[in-house]
Structure 1
Amino acid sequence: MSVVVITLLAAAYGAAGGLLLPRAAYRLSVAPGEPWRAHCPAGHPVPRWLGPARCHGAPYGASAPGVAAVCALVCGALAAAGGARPEVGVYVGLAPGLVLLGLVDLAVHRLPDVLTLPLAALAAALLGAAALAPRAAGSWRLALLGGAALAGAYLLLFLINPAGIGFGDVKLALALGVALGWYGWGVWALGAFLGFAYGALYGLGLLLGGRAGRRTAFPFGPFMAAGALTGVLLGGFGA
């Protein structure tokens, strides 16, 4: 199967998955300790977990077409970078879950355990299976070491400055470190660095624009994910 076909199939999968995420993002976007949302802003019960966020024709929460476009772009880019290698199926398959995490973090500055921990477990297990398949271009051992190393680094930062790094970021780092470590320490280091770089540039932009102060908190998970995505893409193209 050609890379073009694989890319189109991955983009279609991402678009379809993205259309299902807005309702889940809305229901999960609550403060720690609060129950998941069960009603729309108008007070009507929200059926099920997946689907667009609409109630009696009125949209709420994240835009389904916008989320679908983001997922399609991410999944298509991953497929274009990795082609027919088995790890690509893992990255593409898990990408909508990472987008869902970003939506929740943007909404309430929180990365729920119900998403971060399964994502890390799935990334490790599925890459382990991919390592056994022909044409795999990475190392499962390095993936596991990368997950432990990045989570450990974020844990240290959390202990030093809990106001700057949340414990949810530590758990997300476990999954991202596994994904980055697959292609080796060079990709791991680049993805980890870019996560901080993207976040710093965003914070600097807010500061220079007068929209935030030095102590203003903002969600860091999306920037961690963007840095890891960049690293994985470059690793895929390099492999």
Structure 2
Amino acid sequence: MSLLAVVGGAAVAGAGSRLVPRIIASVPEPEPELSAEPGQDPKEPYAAIAAVPGLAPWAALAGGAAGALLGAGLGVTWPLVVALVLVPVAIALAVIDWRTRLLPTRLIAPAYSVTVALVLATWLVGGLLDGGFDTTPLVRALVGWAGAGGLYLLLWLVHPRGMGYGDVRLSGVLGLVLGYAGWAELVVGVYGGFLLGGVLGGVLSLLRRVDRAGYPFGPFMLLGALVGLSAGRPVIDALLR
């Protein structure tokens, strides 16, 4: 474990995550017909979510913890750089989805662009510094994007009421980052989202903390990705023993 990666990851992600309220407040409200399903209460405005007392320090604490875990799992690597930049947006998406059951395209679309740009930029810089360009990380990133995105798209087509299309969009971003980090990270990160969503979602349903008929899946996808990036290799190694 690299102490520099852990401390640096916590500091960078924690500081960046203090911007979560601003990120949420910057999201425009959806069209009225998209803001709530029939029979549901009106969607909580993004401005009201951004103004929740204590959101900034709690987001910073969550971001710092996520950054430390990412640093411990990835070490001083280029995938760590990509993951740390996306932590504040991931927290903002988790908060929004948990409170509204929506994953706004206005956040996911820029996250796509930033992720692609970061993956390409870090790969190029790494290749220049190493004196050679290994295309394996890029191939893994593409496989992650196609595999995770394709899987969620198939699930959405089979049962659209069981999963929002925002989950499909988010899966592509997560697949890119997970694949760029490694095969083990990709497998554990994608599967972990389903496992955590099923187990923790079921527990929260029993405790009546979420609607048993349907609950936001985005936070579990993001948590699964965090597990994959921070512990993907040890998990796979333990399973293969």
- TM-score by length of structure 2 reads 0.79
Q: Which moved more, 1:79-88 or 1:94-103?
A: 79-88
* Residue in 1 that maps onto 2:41: none
1:30, 1:205 → 2: CA distance? 31
Task: Decide which of 65, 71, 83 is 2:63's aligned counterpart.
Answer: 71
Residue 110 of structure 1 aligns to a residue whose secondary structure is coil
* Residue in 2 that maps onto 1:161: 159
Q: Which runs of 4+ in 1 moved over 6 A?
A: 135-138
Residue 217 of structure 1 aligns to a residue whose secondary structure is coil
1:103-118 to 2 correspondence within 5 Å? 103-118=95-110
1:181, 1:207 → 2: CA distance? 32
Deviation by residue 1:73-101 (Cα, 9 ceiling, x = unmatched): 11121122222212211111111111111
Aligned Cα root-mean-square deviation (Å):
3.0
- TM-score by length of structure 1 reads 0.79
* Residue in 2 that maps onto 1:122: 114
2:46, 2:188 → 1: CA distance? 40
Q: Which moved more, 1:136-145 or 1:16-25?
A: 136-145
Q: Which moved more, 1:2-11 or 1:134-143?
A: 134-143
* Residue in 2 that maps onto 1:57: none
Give the count of matched residue pairs.
220
Deviation by residue 1:179-215 (Cα, 9 ceiling, x = unmatched): 111244443222111101111112321343355665x
- Identical amino acids, percent of aligned pairs: 32
2:111, 2:67 → 1: CA distance? 16
Q: Does structure 2 conserve the Cα–Cα contact (< 8 Å) formed by 1:102 and 1:221?
A: yes
* Residue in 2 that maps onto 1:4: 3
Amino acid at match of 1:220: F
Deviation by residue 1:3-34 (Cα, 9 ceiling, x = unmatched): 32332222122222222212432554855546
Amino acid at match of 2:76: A
Deviation by residue 1:137-168 (Cα, 9 ceiling, x = unmatched): 96111101211111111111111111111000
Is there any run of 5+ residues in structure 1 with no aligned partner, and where?
Answer: 42-51, 54-59
Residue 161 of structure 2 aligns to a residue whose secondary structure is coil
2:9, 2:197 → 1: CA distance? 28
Q: 1:13 to 1:150 in 2, by over 3 A?
A: same
1:73-92 to 2 correspondence within 5 Å? 73-92=65-84
Aligned-pair CA distance for 1:125:
2.3
Amino acid at match of 1:6: A
2:211, 2:94 → 1: CA distance? 23
Task: Tell me if 1:21 matches 2:20.
Answer: yes
Is there any run of 5+ residues in structure 2 with no aligned partner, and where?
Answer: 36-43, 237-241
Residue 102 of structure 2 aligns to a residue whose secondary structure is coil
